[in-house]
Amino acid sequence: MKKFSGVAFAIVVSLIATAHVGSPNVLFDGLAGPYPVRVIVRPPDVVPGLAEVIVRVDAADVNHVTLRPVFWRAGASGAPKGDEASRVPGKDRFYTGQLWLMSRGSYSVYVTLAGARGSGTAIVPVNAFATGRLDLPPALGAILVVLGVLLVAGLLTIVRAAAGDSLVPAGQPVDAPARRRANRVMVIAAPVIALAVLGGAKWWNAVDGDYRRTMYRAPSAVPRISVDSTHRTLRLIVRDTAQFRAIFSPVVPDHGKMMHLFLVSTSGMQVFSHLHPIEADSLQFVTELPWAPAGRYLLFGDITLENGMSLTVSDRVDIPAAPGSVVQSDPDDSWDRTVSVTPLAPGAVRSLADGYTLAWAGIATPIESGQPTDLRFVVRDSAGSPVPLHPYLGMAGHAVVLRHDASVFVHLHPMGTIASVSQQVFALRDRGDTTAGGRLQVNDLRPDSMPAMSMSGELSFPYEFPKPGRYRLWVQVKPSQHVLTGVFDVDVR
């Protein structure tokens, strides 16, 4: 535990974030009409760019899978005709395809399955941002330099010939004055061409600089804590960065909450809080801090915008000691203090309060990064039987994944990495309840977005770890009236 010292977090929080932190790939488990489906979208690092889409159809009677990129501003009517996804050779129920994401902003991939039971569409929201910058490979750079030198040398030779040989009538010898004139012109042309090449290099640098400036930057989150005799209040002011504007539209509630705020103590990640600030003013979020002991915390706030875009803001915050008893500001707030962590391995069982246990039911082999995996758990009562779950914020369970260096943060549900409200705003957009510049009818949003979700006590969170390393995993379930949190560590290869 001690090795997860606060030092590791120093490198943390300004890392690239989109819907999550350091975890751009999107996984969705759910239904497309009558057909169960898993969709993985790997968005491009640059936009316009190609997103890779993988579809696993969990039904035998599906014949066709089509993929459409829908930009929120244009709606489905402004999307190109769908592309047929191709079957993955040797894997009958896997389909794959590539989609161009041409504009920066909020997209959804519409995955339509057609088969014996008709057709159905799953909406998978994706943020399209420039998040990476491609270096010029040295080999390509060398090739371009050689070709460039040849072109410049060729151009100088052409200039010399144009001023010399070419003006001499056919058959006449090229005399010395003509040669001197040609050389003189070439000498004059050389610096002009050199200036043009330098200008081109400067232009390239300018384009690169513009690109860097417009790369995605998570909005900033400025925390301020005020304390009096009965309150320890966190006010979080969210702002776009000076050079990148991500927040184009108002925040909408996801699972009925304007923000899902997670606090993790930097000293060994022992304290974990899942809070729900209210939006006291535009982009100003306020919550009480009831449980957290004084200390330094990492802060991750998930918000979803009216245009379907999900963003995570993050920062560090030093929380002072509570003056007395502070009452939680939202009944769905929850927390956990970890004195020991359960390694995620075959047979791992985590004891929860009230006699419940949370048992790992996933694969026996080590989890590999870059591969979709199911984080499966079973909630059992004291008699060892799986127990039905109460919905917690509309879901059978919530999971939070944090890499030990805090370079990866993601908030998962059994439906995957997406915010369910993003799906809803796209569906409402298509129904005509919103316009490109208009307002979403927020009353139409359902906090309980997955009525068909299994609440049997067997949970599965689909996820694709972005890189190897040790991750902390908090799994939150509600087998009784209380939210219980299991804490695991997982080593990803």
The residues that touch another protein, with contacts defined as CB under 8 A, are 46-49, 68-71, 73-74, 78-81, 100, 102-103, 130, 133-134, 136-137, 140, 143-144, 147-148, 150-151, 154-155, 157-158, 161-162, 164-173, 200, 203-204, 207-208, 211
Q: How many CB atoms lie within 10 A of CB 347?
A: 7
Q: Tell me whether residue 211 or residue 321 sits nearer to another protein (CB atom).
A: 211
Q: Tell me whether residue 2 or residue 81 sits nearer to another protein (CB atom).
A: 81
Q: Tell me whether residue 203 or residue 385 sits nearer to another protein (CB atom).
A: 203
Q: Among the residues of 343-474, which ranges form H helices?
A: 420-431
Q: Tell me whether residue 199 or residue 346 sits nearer to another protein (CB atom).
A: 199
Residues 387, 393, 398, CA angle at the centre, nearest 5°?
Answer: 65
Q: Shortest distance, CB of residue 427 to another protein, whole angstroms?
A: 17
Q: Shortest distance, CB of residue 157 to another protein, whole angstroms?
A: 5
* Local structure of residue 150 (DSSP, 8 states): H
Q: Tell me whether residue 10 or residue 136 sits nearer to another protein (CB atom).
A: 136
Query: How many Å apart are CA 235 and CA 182, to the nearest integer?
Result: 74
Residue with the two structure tokens 């050199």:
194
- Give the up-direction half-sphere exposure of residue 398: CA atoms within 13 A in the CB hemisphere: 26
Q: Shortest distance, CB of residue 332 to another protein, whole angstroms?
A: 37
Torsion angle of the four alpha carbons 420, 425, 428, 430, in this order, in degrees rounded to the nearest 10 = -110
> Do 312 and 131 form a contact (C-beta atoms < 8 A)?
no
User: Cα dist. 373→346, 365, 368, 464, 482 in Å?
Assistant: 15, 11, 8, 6, 28
Query: How many Å apart are CA 464 and CA 368, to the nearest integer?
Result: 8
Q: Tell me whether residue 168 or residue 225 sits nearer to another protein (CB atom).
A: 168
Q: Shortest distance, CB of residue 89 to another protein, whole angstroms?
A: 22
Q: Tell me whether residue 410 or residue 428 sits nearer to another protein (CB atom).
A: 428
Residue type at 422 in one-letter notation: S
Q: Tell me whether residue 193 or residue 225 sits nearer to another protein (CB atom).
A: 193
User: Cα dist. 83→48, 72, 194, 280, 360 in Å?
Assistant: 17, 19, 47, 44, 38
Q: Report the SS3 class of residue 186.
A: helix
The phi, psi pair for 146, rounded to 5°, reads: -60, -45
The phi, psi pair for 279, rounded to 5°, reads: -95, 95
Residues in the chain: 493
> Do 305 and 249 form a contact (C-beta atoms < 8 A)?
yes
Q: Shortest distance, CB of residue 33 to another protein, whole angstroms?
A: 23
Closest CA to 71 of 44, 97, 108, 22: 108
Give the DSSP H/E element, type plus range, for residue 144.
helix 138-163
Q: Tell me whether residue 85 or residue 130 sits nearer to another protein (CB atom).
A: 130
Q: Shortest distance, CB of residue 171 to another protein, whole angstroms?
A: 3
The phi, psi pair for 142, rounded to 5°, reads: -65, -45
> Do 407 and 298 form a contact (C-beta atoms < 8 A)?
no
Q: Shortest distance, CB of residue 351 to another protein, whole angstroms?
A: 50
Q: Tell me whether residue 179 or residue 470 sits nearer to another protein (CB atom).
A: 179
Query: How many Å apart are CA 165 and CA 178, to the nearest integer?
Result: 7
Looking at the DSSP bridge assignments, the partners of residue 40 are: 27, 54
Residue with the two structure tokens 């379930």:
477
Q: Tell me whether residue 116 or residue 147 sits nearer to another protein (CB atom).
A: 147
Please give the full DSSP string across 262-286, using - where no structure is assigned.
EEEETTTT-EEEEE--EEEETTEEE
Q: How many CB atoms lie within 10 A of CB 223?
A: 20
Closest CA to 376 of 490, 262, 470: 490
Q: Tell me whether residue 172 or residue 481 sits nearer to another protein (CB atom).
A: 172
> Do 193 and 201 form a contact (C-beta atoms < 8 A)?
no
Q: Shortest distance, CB of residue 306 to another protein, whole angstroms?
A: 17
Q: Tell me whether residue 154 or residue 324 sits nearer to another protein (CB atom).
A: 154
